[in-house]
Copies of this chain bind each other. A is one copy, B any other.
Amino acid sequence: MKKKTNTAGTLKQEGGMPEIKLKRLGEEMVEQVNANESPTFETLLRSKGNILFDEGRGYLRLGDKVEKRTFVNVGQARKFMQTVAIANKCKKFLKEGAHTSIRGLFYQLKFSLGEDLDEELFSEQSESNPLIEDLEVALNIKREDLNLSTDRKGVVAGALVLNDKFGGDETEIDCSKQGRSGWMIPSDVDNGMEFLSVDADYVLVVEKDAMWQRLNEDKFWKKENCILISPKGQSSRGCRRLIRKLANKKLPVICFTDCDAWGWYIYWTIKTGSMNLAYIAQDIAVPEAKFVGVTMQDIKDYDFLGKLTIKAKEVDLKRAQEMKEYEWIKAHKEWVAELNEVLKTKKKIEQDALQGPRLSFVSEYLKEKIGKKKFLP
B111 contacts A356, CB within 8 Å? Answer: yes
A308 contacts B107, CB within 8 Å? Answer: yes
A181 CB contact (under 8 Å) in B96, B112, B164, B179: B164
A297 within 8 Å of B (CB atoms): no
Which B residues are CB-close (under 8 A) to A360?
A: 98
The secondary structure that dominates the A interface is mixed
A340 within 8 Å of B (CB atoms): no
Pick the interface stretch among A4-12, A165-173, A197-205, A283-291.
Answer: A165-173
**Interface hub of A110, A173, A184, A188 (most chain B Cβ within 10 A):** A184
CA of A187 to CA of B308, assembled, Å: 26
Residues 281 to 318 of chain A near chain B (Cβ within 8 Å):
304, 307-308
A67 within 8 Å of B (CB atoms): no
A27 within 8 Å of B (CB atoms): no
Count of this chain's copies in the oligomeric assembly: 2
Contact pattern, A 107-129, Cβ under 8 Å of B = 1, otherwise 0: 11011101000000000000000
A44 within 8 Å of B (CB atoms): no
**Interface hub of A166, A181, A357 (most chain B Cβ within 10 A):** A181
- Nearest 8 CB-CB pairs, A to B? A111-B356, A164-B179, A101-B210, A171-B179, A181-B184, A104-B355, A166-B180, A98-B359
Which chain A residues have a beta carbon within 8 Å of chain B's beta carbons?
Answer: 93, 96, 98-101, 103-104, 106-108, 110-112, 114, 149, 151-152, 155, 164, 166-169, 171, 173, 177-188, 192, 209-210, 213-214, 216-219, 304, 307-308, 350, 352-353, 355-357, 359-360
A-B contacts, 12 of them at CB < 8 A, read A98-B217, A98-B360, A99-B214, A101-B210, A101-B213, A103-B210, A110-B356, A152-B209, A166-B179, A180-B186, A181-B183, A183-B184
